[in-house]
Amino acid sequence: MHAATTHIKDEALSRGSLGPAALDMMTDVFAYELPRFPGLAATDEVADLVNEFFLDKGSGYANAVIEVPDDDAARRLTRKWAVHWLVDRARTLPFGALRNRLEKRLERSPLFERSAIDHYWRLADGGDADRGVTESRLRQLASSTFVETIPTADGIQLGRRGELEELLRRLLDEAGRLHISDITRICAERFPSTLEPGDAASATVDADWEYIEDVTPAADTTGTTADKRRQERTAESLMPLLSERELVVIRHADDAVALAGALGVGRSSAYTMIGRLRARLVELAGDDKQGREVMVALVSLVLDDPSPVPSLREEDREDSRAI
């Protein structure tokens, strides 16, 4: 057995804050755990996640680390905190949010029950065994089952009453039982709008960014010209309501990587900001046809404005290795 070390605690007590030893340990923990979360691994660097984790957990985490007896205990504590944080973060990504959403529907309906195998679901009145059905057959079954996707103020509603449950019932009736990840993958293909960038399939409505960017001007009749002027005036009145951060998000809304660089955040955070911006624009302008035209005008005003937006990168951290 190796002798216990207390570098992290000693350094923190000497500095008055966690320092390079803690940062190295946190980076090692996140680098080890991140491959278990492929959705996050595809969008974020380890360093981004470590910084965002600490900004989120702050003094609560720092105090907990200082209180444990040695470096090994600090690593174990960090792993526990990091895994819970990564799980919560993964659930905000499109695939994770869809999985969470489907599992809640399965839990609420008397048609379904959990299998004896963890994370598998079956019909309440059916058996608990695999039937060897192919995924292509299940995808075909899902595509042939009518489920209406309905934009609402709270996001995308999957089906009217009972429609999604009927799709899930048919899948499980055919397969016997399915892992929730398999159900989610099939439904993601069936409902691709739930996986659009920035849509966490939960609290924000997708304002159709492609529509905003690709709208072509209407014929220049007297009526349409008057409408356009009204929309521009409305957009001008809304401009002061946008924060500097929102202006940056608008300017980089079609490029999450560029937005992440402009704001000094991870790419998953950038996607979340784009989703929040869409909801914010709907809140300001409305989600009817006229509201969308106002959004077009508002986005155009921002993109055409030559005024520089102050940098919002979080570069005020005095020591990038001291947290």
User: Block means of pLDDT (10 residues each) for the chain, length 323 residues?
Assistant: 79 87 91 77 74 84 89 91 82 70 89 90 90 87 84 70 91 92 84 54 33 39 60 83 85 78 81 78 72 80 62 40 36
65 burial class (0-12, 13-18, 19+ CB within 10 angstroms)?
buried
| DSSP bridge pairs for 177 | 122
Residue 87's identity, in one-letter code, is V
CA distances from 8 to 1, 19, 55, 107 (A): 20, 8, 18, 44
Query: In whole angstroms, what is the distance from residue 165 CA to residue 107 CA?
Result: 11
DSSP 195: G
- Domain spans, the chain: 7-92, 95-192, 209-304
The two structure tokens encoding residue 195: 């996986």
Residue 200's identity, in one-letter code, is A
Look at residue 129 and give its three-state secondary structure: coil
Give the 3-state secondary structure of 55-79. Answer: HHHHHHHHHHHHHCCCHHHHHHHHH
**pLDDT value of residue 124:** 92
Alpha carbon 45 to its chain centroid, in Å, reads 16
Query: In whole angstroms, what is the distance from residue 316 CA to residue 38 CA?
Result: 30
**pLDDT value of residue 315:** 38
Are 188 and 95 in contact by the 8 Å Cβ rule? The answer is: yes
The kind and range of the H/E element at 292 are helix 289-304
Task: Show the beta-strand stretches assigned E in 107-213.
Answer: 112-114, 120-123, 149-152, 155-158, 177-179
Query: In whole angstroms, what is the distance from residue 81 CA to residue 235 CA?
Result: 44
Look at residue 120 and give its three-state secondary structure: strand
pTM for the whole structure: 0.40
Torsion of CA 68, 77, 271, 180, to 10 degrees: -160
Nearest of 134, 123, 223, 197 to residue 165 by alpha carbon: 123
| DSSP bridge pairs for 158 | 149
Are 215 and 295 in contact by the 8 Å Cβ rule? The answer is: no
**pLDDT value of residue 58:** 80
**pLDDT value of residue 52:** 84
**pLDDT value of residue 27:** 92
Nearest of 313, 276, 312, 278 to residue 298 by alpha carbon: 278
DSSP 176: S
**pLDDT value of residue 178:** 92
